[in-house]
């Protein structure tokens, strides 16, 4: 149990376009979802926390207008990278919590902006 999926697993987009990444909890209801970003050879950096039905809380230094997060249901959160640029190329990972204190991580989405 406690499976989190992400779609797509990898995406290539052109500079200036927007790309949406989906995060789904497959067998539980996720009251809280988290989005992380990881650059090569670095650790995961928390970008934002989202609770179902409310606005996301962004970590310091993360542009909320660039990284749009929607958590419209208890099983789905989306991250939209708007006007993507090559420096946004990264590994994006979501995780979900079901009201308990365990956090379950998705497999990640690799974004490459050309």
Partner 1 sequence: DAKTTQPTSMDCAEGRAANLPCNHSTISGNEYVYWYRQIHSQGPQYIIHGLKNNETNEMASLIITEDRKSSTLILPHATLRDTAVYYCIVRARDDKIIFGKGTRLHILP
Q: Residues 25, 97: contact at Cβ < 8 Å?
A: no
Residue 14, CB-side half-sphere exposure with 13 Å CA sphere = 0
User: Distance between CA 54 and CA 43 in Å, rounded?
Assistant: 28
Part of the chain binding partner 1 (CB under 8 A), chosen from 14-22, 43-51, 66-74, 77-85: 43-51
Reading the block at residue 77, the tokens are 């959160």
Task: Pick one of 14, 43, 65, 87: the residue that binds partner 1 (CB under 8 A).
Answer: 43
Q: What is the H or E stretch that residue 21 is in? A: strand 19-25
Asked if 91 touches partner 1 (CB under 8 A), the answer is yes
Asked if 104 touches partner 1 (CB under 8 A), the answer is yes
- Least distance in angstroms from the C-beta of 80 to partner 1: 20
Residues at the site binding partner 1, with contacts judged by CB under 8 A = 4, 6, 34, 36, 43-46, 49, 91, 93, 95, 101-108, 110
């Amino acid at each position: 149990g406690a499976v989190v999926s992400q779609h797509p697993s990898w995406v290539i987009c052109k500079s200036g376009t927007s790309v949406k990444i989906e995060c789904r909890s497959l067998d539980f209801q996720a009251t809280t979802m988290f989005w992380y970003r990881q650059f090569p050879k670095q650790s995961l950096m928390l970008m934002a926390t989202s609770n179902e039905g409310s606005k996301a809380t962004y970590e310091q230094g993360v542009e909320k207008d660039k990284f749009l997060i929607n958590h419209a249901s208890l099983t789905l959160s989306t991250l939209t990278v708007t006007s993507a640029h090559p420096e946004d190329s990264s590994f994006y990972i979501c995780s979900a919590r079901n009201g308990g204190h365990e956090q379950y991580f998705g497999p990640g989405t690799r974004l490459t902006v050309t």
